[in-house]
Amino acid sequence: MAGSKISCIGIVGDGCGGGREFIIENEILFARDPQSAKNTTLLKNIKGAKSISKKACILYIVCENESFEFDLSAMKCI
């Protein structure tokens, strides 16, 4: 669905990215800093994203055809 947005918010003290909002919109994963309102692009070409969640330094992304993990400390998929 083009233009759809899903997101989760990192808990402060729970590893990397605490307090930031992680957003998938238009097939792009962003980290949004609430203080500066700046978006940082983390990953592109995320097809059919259904949900995103975070635990410690790992983002868990579920898509229509696959699921994967993005390590915020390494800044790459694992």
Question: Two tokens at 39?
Answer: 């978006």
Range of the domain at 38: 5-77
- pLDDT, tens digit only, all 78 positions of the chain: 455 789 999 998 887 888 999 999 999 999 999 999 999 999 999 999 999 999 999 999 999 999 999 999 999 999
pLDDT in the model for residue 3: 56
Would you state the structure tokens that stand for residue 63, as one six-digit string? 């898509």
Q: Tally the domains of the chain.
A: 1
User: Which one, of 41, 77, 47, 46, lies nearest residue 59 by Cα?
Assistant: 77
What's the residue count for the chain? 78
Question: What does each C-alpha distance from 50 to 6, 66, 67 come to in angstroms?
Answer: 8, 10, 10
Query: What is the Cα–Cα distance from 33 to 65, expressed in whole angstroms?
Result: 29
Q: Is pTM, for the whole model, over 0.85? A: yes
CATH of the domain at 20: 2.40.10
